[in-house]
Structure 1
Amino acid sequence: MELELRHLRAVRAIADTGSLTKAAAALGLAQPALSAQLRRIEKALGGPLFERDHTGARPTPLGELVLERARVVLPAVSELQQEAVRFANACGPMERFRLGGTHGPLLGGLVDRLVTAHPNAPVSTYTSWSEAEVASQLVDGRLDFALIGVCGESPPPASDRLTWQVIGVDPVFVMLPESHPLAAERELDLAALSAECWADVPGDGCFADCFVSACARAGFSPASVYETDTASVVHLVQVGRAIGLCRATFPPVPGLVTRPLAGTPLSWRHLLGWHPRSAAAVSAAGAVSGHTVAAYADAVGRSESYSGWLATHPGFGPAG
């Protein structure tokens, strides 16, 4: 029997879990099948790789040697696969644009501009609430560019492997129905909203914790927070079940208003990302960056409440 990558993955899974039963579950195999596979691996390598008893499985000296090599080989093969995908896409000018994004106001604007500027290049989109998932698609070469947002000054995902450009910095506004008693105010104190229920879009960054902390500084704990998709956030605000948390560039919705919070306790950075060694970085990063900046400027211009607020709040808006 020749040793294969799947055999190394099985050995590593057994070592990581300390149990054939747990390793089999992690690998999606039946435990007897994994035991039989381990016996074949040990026969091919010349000796037992694990000592097994009622407490679990522990590597033998031979097992430690194999594990040491496996921990080098498996990541190297994974990186080779990623590099091969990027290389396969690195020939000639951009013939397509594969865009990813979290739920925000800029992706549609970027698609519109790219389709206009490159009418013969297909544009596809992939969206997720998870910034980390979108970033992993960039790392793997499945996306060319991604638009995400991060809370405050928190670092973007995979910042050691991807290039991230700050497009703009928004304060976080609140979304109210026009009939709300505070809808006519130019600016709202967070404490004045202590009795409200809240709605926002989920994410895997620190925004939820930062919001709770901001409420605590204002002297209250939010009664409830509905984390749901953008359309449901808008609906909950329209029917008076909650007030929404949104970026200041959130597009206008009939019957709703957006208002800034006094002191700007929460902020949001819009980021455009790409892999620095991808075909996209070589042939199109500058152009896509320009289109994204323009899409952000359009989003700012559509919000009267934000445009007026920016005039007296330097440090926000388009990145300088």
Structure 2
Amino acid sequence: MQLELRHLEAVCRIAEAGSLGRAAALLGVSQPGLSAQLRRIERVTGGELFVRSQHGVEPTPLGQFVLSKARRVIGEMDALTAGARAAAPHPTLRLGSILLVLTDRLLGHLEQELPGHEIEVNTEHSVTTLTHMLGAGQYDAIMYGEVSDHEVPLPDGVAARTLIPKEPACVRLSATHPLAGQDQIHLADLAEETWTIIVEEDDGSQEAMVDACRRAGFTPKLRYRIADRKMRWDLIAAGRAISLCQPTSPHAEGTVLRPLAGDPLTGRIRLAWNRSTLSEDRARLLYRAAGYAYLDNVPHNTFYRSWWEARPELHPNLD
């Protein structure tokens, strides 16, 4: 076996994550699969690259040497890719997004803002994965959310701009739920409910939700972790769980969306881009497209339309 770029990236991810489990999650592979791959890499390099400790894994002297060379090779490859893309007349826009509602409407506006350009949009379940892929040059730009005071750390060489500085969280519940007829719901009234959340929420939402519920006098029962939107909504429609949602979420059969009284949870939406692969002008056009896509979704929720119109200071500047 010869070492390939993917092997060097795996070694770097293990070192950055500090554990095989976290590295496997970032790489989108199983931990046993990553362990087997590491053993094959170590056979080629001639010795162990990491040792286990009480804090996770740490590189051996051989591992430090391999890491220093691997980072240099990966950096050169990233520079080659970025240079080639910068020289291309109309490079493909590679956009990564967390599961944000505005993604549904984004493509139409991107076609208007960037006519004739190829566009590639992928969704991820993890903000950490998005930022790593952005830093590695695998995405030109990413859209993601942050909840409460949580700030997503961004890699070097990345610029960021806030699209929506504040939006209130709503709760989605079954249309037959006893609270479904209320105009707004107090968080404390949901103390006995079972919640469903996204598989890997590393945007601060889970921590913020737990903190808000504790302030309301209870600890939420987080039972279902489901990434598929339709599966989550079907579960809610059946009355088996409830979920936090963006206020711009569209109607889902058998469910209702209600605001939480007092806005105990708020989030924001941000756009970040790799300066070496995306020009300021294209980043501005992407921001405009994302802003218009968000505005398309505001009318979905009567409560939110009123909330939004009363706060012009939160509206994105799309001029």
* TM-score, reference length from structure 2: 0.75
Check conservation: 1:300, 1:306, Cα contact below 8 A: yes
The match for 1:309 is 307
Q: Secondary structure at the match of 2:224?
A: strand
Take 2:146 and 2:154, find their aligned partners in 1: how far apart are those partners? Answer: 13
Query: Percentage identity across aligned positions?
Result: 28
Partner of 1:179: 176
Q: CA, structure 1 residues 210+30, in 2 after alignment: closer, same or farther (shift >3 Å)?
A: closer
Provide the C-alpha distance between the structure 1 equivalents of 2:284 and 2:309, rounded to a whole number of angstroms. Answer: 28
* Conservation of the 8 A alpha-carbon contact between 2:94 and 2:139: yes
Alignment-derived partner of residue 247 in structure 1: 246
Conserved? CA contact 1:100–1:143, under 8 Å:
yes
Query: Cα distance 1:69–1:224, how it changes in 2: closer, same or farther (>3 A)?
Result: closer
Report how far residue 158 of structure 1 moved: 1.9
Does residue 128 of the first structure (1) align with residue 154 of the second (2)?
A: no
Q: Residues 68 and 242 (structure 1 numbering): CA distance in 2 closer, same or farther, change over 3 Å?
A: closer
Deviation at 1:303, TM superposition (A): 2.2
CA RMSD, 1 decimal:
3.4
Instruction: Return the alpha-carbon distance in structure 2 between the equivalents of residues 89 and 182 of structure 1.
Output: 53
**CA drift at 1:96:** 2.1
SS in 2 for 1:120: coil
1:77 deviates by: 2.7
- Structure 2 stretches of 5 or more lacking a match? 20-34, 48-58
Contact 1:109 1:295 in 2 (8 A): yes
1:210 aligns with 2:221: no
Look up the match of 1:201.
198
* Native 8 Å contact 1:170 1:317 kept in 2: no
Partner of 1:259: 258
CA distance 1:193–1:271, shift in 2 (3 Å)? same
Residues 208-231 of structure 1: CA deviation (Å, up to 9, x unaligned): 122112111111112343221222
1:306 positional shift = 0.9
2:139 corresponds to which residue?
A: 143
How far did residue 286 of structure 1 move?
Answer: 1.0
2:38 is the alignment partner of 1:27: yes
Partner AA of 2:79 in structure 1 = E
What secondary structure does 1:295 align onto? helix
Q: Structure 1 residue 309: deviation in Å? A: 2.6
Q: How many pairs were matched up?
A: 280
1:1-320 equivalent positions in 2, closer than 5 A: 27-29=38-40, 33=43, 37=46, 72-168=68-164, 169-202=166-199, 203-228=201-226, 229-278=228-277, 280-311=278-309, 318=316
Q: Is the 8 A contact 1:94 1:284 kept in 2?
A: no
TM-score (norm 1): 0.75
Unaligned runs of 5+ in 1: 18-23, 39-58
* Residues in 2 aligned to 1:233 and 1:144: alpha-carbon distance in whole angstroms: 30
The answer as to whether partners of 1:137 and 1:143 remain within 8 angstroms in 2 is: yes
Superposed displacement of residue 263, structure 1: 2.1
Distance 1:121 1:30 in 2: 39
Deviations 1:52-79 (A, max 9, x none): xxxxxxx9xxx96x88766644423322
Query: Aligned pair in 2 of structure 1 residues 72, 262: CA closer, same or farther (>3 Å)?
Result: same
Mapped contact 2:237–2:253 kept (Cα < 8 A):
no
The letter of the residue matching 1:155 is E
Q: Name the CA distance, whole Å, in 1 between partners of 2:123 and 2:276.
A: 23
Deviation digits for residues 57-113 of structure 1, max 9, x if unmatched?
Answer: xx9xxx96x887666444233222222211111125434222211111111222121
The change in CA–CA distance for 1:72 and 1:289 in structure 2 (over 3 A counts) is same
Larger Rg: 1
**Distance in 1 separating the partners of 2:315 and 2:180:** 23
Q: Which residue of 1 aligns with 2:32?
A: none
Match of 2:267, SS state, is strand
Mapped partners of 2:73, 2:315: distance in 1:
43
CA distance in structure 2 between the partners assigned to 1:122 and 1:283 by the alignment: 16
